[in-house]
Amino acid sequence: MGAIEMLPSLKDDPPMDEARFLRFLEARSEDERWELIDGEPIQMMHPPSLKHQRIGSNLERLLNDALDASRHDLDAMREIGLSVPAHPGFRPQVDVAVVDRIPTGVYFAERFYLAGEVLSDTNTRDYISTKRLRYADHPDCLHVLILSQTDMAVEVWSRSDEWRGRVFRSGDDRIELPEFGFSCALRDLYARTDLA
């Protein structure tokens, strides 16, 4: 998902927390999509491109195939809200997340084990970097994936590698996430797109 911009009228207000953000959402149209990034409400790009949706769908399907075979307690879900306890002003909507099969939380999953973001044209480097760092602050998060939609490229950031990022660019590169029994060629994430 891509950010559009925060509302100008809110720039001078104190940072929002989850409770204030939920009140803010109640006053907005149901057609609008928002996330809370470091206390600022950010409107999401709507609708995302078809390629963006396909890449996210491929990741969700491949993760669920692996989880069905090896981790019946977990599910991959698309476009859900996440909660990071250390950051009350951070309530993002992620493109794909691995969460408990019966997730905790009402509006925001309180536990997640992977966060996957498909980059959009409107994503800035600071915006996606902030999200990646906040996801890594969640005590249960094991991996953060950042997937390009302009070229075949995926960044994989892993707790087991001390959150050092690895970039995969060759279609034959294999992405291995052993905690989920997940292994796929990079090209599988781009199936049914012009990048494949």
Q: Name residue 113's amino acid.
A: Y
Task: Say whether 127 sits in a helix, a strand or coil.
Answer: helix
- 96, two tokens: 């794909």
State pLDDT tens for residues 120-148: 887 888 889 999 999 999 999 999 999 99
Length of the chain: 196
User: 38 by DSSP, 3-state: which?
Assistant: coil
Asked if pLDDT for residue 66 goes beyond 60, the answer is yes
Residues of the chain with CATH 3.90.1570.10: 50-189
Position 3 scores a pLDDT of 47
Residue 8 has pLDDT above 50, yes or no: no
CATH topology of domain 50-189: tt1808, chain A (3.90.1570)
Closest by CA to 115, choosing from 86, 135, 89, is 135
Does residue 93 contact residue 117 with C-beta atoms inside 8 Å? no
The alpha carbon torsion through 166, 167, 170, 174 (nearest 10 deg) reads 30
Q: 51 versus 106: which is more confidently predicted?
A: 51
Mean pLDDT in residue range 19-43: 82
Cβ–Cβ under 8 Å, residues 159 and 142:
yes
Helix (H), strand (E) at residue 116: strand 112-118
* Mean pLDDT of all residues belonging to the chain: 89
DSSP code for 91: B
Q: Residue 188 pLDDT > 80, yes or no? A: yes
- Give the pair of three-digit tokens for residue 35: 């996330």
101: left (phi over 0), alpha (psi -120 to 50) or beta: alpha
Contact, 145 vs 154, CB < 8 A?
Answer: yes
Q: State how far the Cα of 15 lies from the Cα of 161, in Å rounded to an integer.
A: 33
